[in-house]
């Protein structure tokens, strides 16, 4: 699980133990339909804060999720999740909860994609997972929105609306591009750091359409990714040097003075 909130102070912490059980033919479907292969615990924070599960005993499946209490069993678990440890689900790694908010903390297996059960165990097998439900006084920033890219040579200038800093000032942005070999989004921090719209992204090929995303960064880490914005880098023609044009007042003055001096010479 990614590390969050290096700079935030804990305002709440409680131990967590869950025992998700495998189910034949369905442990792969936690994010598809139903809730086989999961265990959950009702959680009601007594202090407002930015909540996540820390010190989670599993680096991979089963993952942790946070959902509202009134979840819909006819919808996917992932579709209803407020936060999760699994980056592949493109969910935030934390959620802000007011004191008294009723949510479920889940542990759920992910055994494959669609109807695949490649990594599922025998029916009834269980696994005890542990961690801490932690609330903190600040969190990672919200993603930027309303991205607009203006192409330049080798990249683009991207204007955007910054998201909330969630209690800790935004210090930089990361640029994400899709790596075909990795089959995933790869993020690189802007260098030098730039925390003001617009930001300039570079290192791309002119004439080739490119799509990127942005992540805001603060002292607690990087937030979730923004919507994708596309652009095609291109050489930008230098504007032509304008020919100076005298305003009409100065032309009138020049003509008047010329005529006056001409009259003076003729009268001598």
Residue pLDDT, tens place only, 51-89: 999 999 988 778 899 999 987 777 777 888 899 987 667
Q: What percentage of the chain carries pLDDT values higher than 90?
A: 56
Give the predicted TM-score (pTM) of the model: 0.74
Average pLDDT over residues 10-20: 95
Task: Work out the angle at residue 252's Cα, subtended by the Cα atoms of residues 251 and 255, and round it to the nearest 5 degrees.
Answer: 85
Is there a domain that residue 246 lies in?
no
CATH number for the domain spanning 215: value is: 2.60.40.10
Is there a domain that residue 268 lies in?
no
- Tens digit of pLDDT for each residue in 16-48? 999 987 655 544 445 444 566 788 999 999 999
Q: Is the pLDDT of residue 6 over 70?
A: no
What total number of domains does the chain contain?
A: 2
Lowest mean pLDDT among 81-85, 110-114, 152-156: 110-114
To the nearest whole number, what is the mean pLDDT of the chain?
A: 81
Average pLDDT over residues 232-250: 65
Give pLDDT, residue 247.
Answer: 57
Is there a domain that residue 264 lies in?
no
Average pLDDT over residues 234-263: 57
CA 210 vs CA 150, 161, 174, 225: distances in Å: 12, 21, 16, 16
Is there a domain that residue 86 lies in?
yes
The reply to whether 93 and 182 lie within a common domain is no
The reply to whether 175 and 85 lie within a common domain is no
Q: Which pLDDT band, with edges at 50, 70 and 90, does 236 fall under?
A: confident
The reply to whether 154 and 212 lie within a common domain is yes
Q: Is the pLDDT of residue 160 over 60?
A: yes
The reply to whether 149 and 227 lie within a common domain is yes
CATH number for the domain spanning 22: value is: 2.60.120
Q: Is the pLDDT of residue 204 over 50?
A: yes
Residue that finishes a domain, picked among 106, 136, 166: 136
Give pLDDT, residue 68.
Answer: 92
Structural domain boundaries enclosing 31: 10-136
């Amino acid at each position: 699980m990614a590390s969050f909130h290096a700079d935030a102070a804990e305002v709440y912490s409680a131990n967590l133990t869950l025992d998700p059980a495998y189910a034949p033919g369905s442990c792969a479907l936690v994010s598809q339909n139903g809730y086989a292969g999961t265990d959950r615990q009702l959680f009601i924070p007594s202090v407002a804060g930015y909540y996540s599960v820390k010190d989670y005993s599993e680096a991979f499946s089963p993952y942790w999720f946070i959902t509202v209490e009134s979840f819909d069993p006819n919808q996917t678990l992932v579709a209803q999740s407020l936060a999760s440890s699994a980056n592949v689900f493109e969910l935030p790694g934390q959620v802000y909860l007011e004191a008294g908010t009723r949510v479920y903390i889940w542990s759920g297996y992910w055994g494959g994609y669609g109807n695949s059960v490649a990594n599922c165990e025998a029916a009834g097998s269980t696994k005890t997972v542990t961690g801490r439900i932690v609330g903190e006084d600040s969190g990672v920033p919200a993603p930027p929105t309303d991205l607009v890219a203006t192409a330049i040579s080798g990249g683009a200038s991207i204007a955007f609306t910054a998201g909330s800093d969630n209690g800790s000032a935004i210090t930089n942005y990361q640029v994400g591009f899709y790596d075909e070999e990795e089959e995933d989004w790869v993020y690189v921090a802007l260098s030098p750091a730039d925390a003001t719209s617009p930001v300039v992204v570079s290192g791309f090929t002119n004439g080739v359409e490119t799509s990127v995303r942005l992540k805001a960064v603060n002292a607690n880490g990087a937030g979730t990714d923004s919507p994708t914005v596309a652009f095609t880098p291109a050489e930008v023609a230098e504007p032509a040097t304008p020919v100076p044009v005298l305003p009409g007042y100065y032309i009138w003055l020049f003509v008047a003075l010329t005529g006056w001096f001409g009259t003076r010479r003729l009268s001598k």
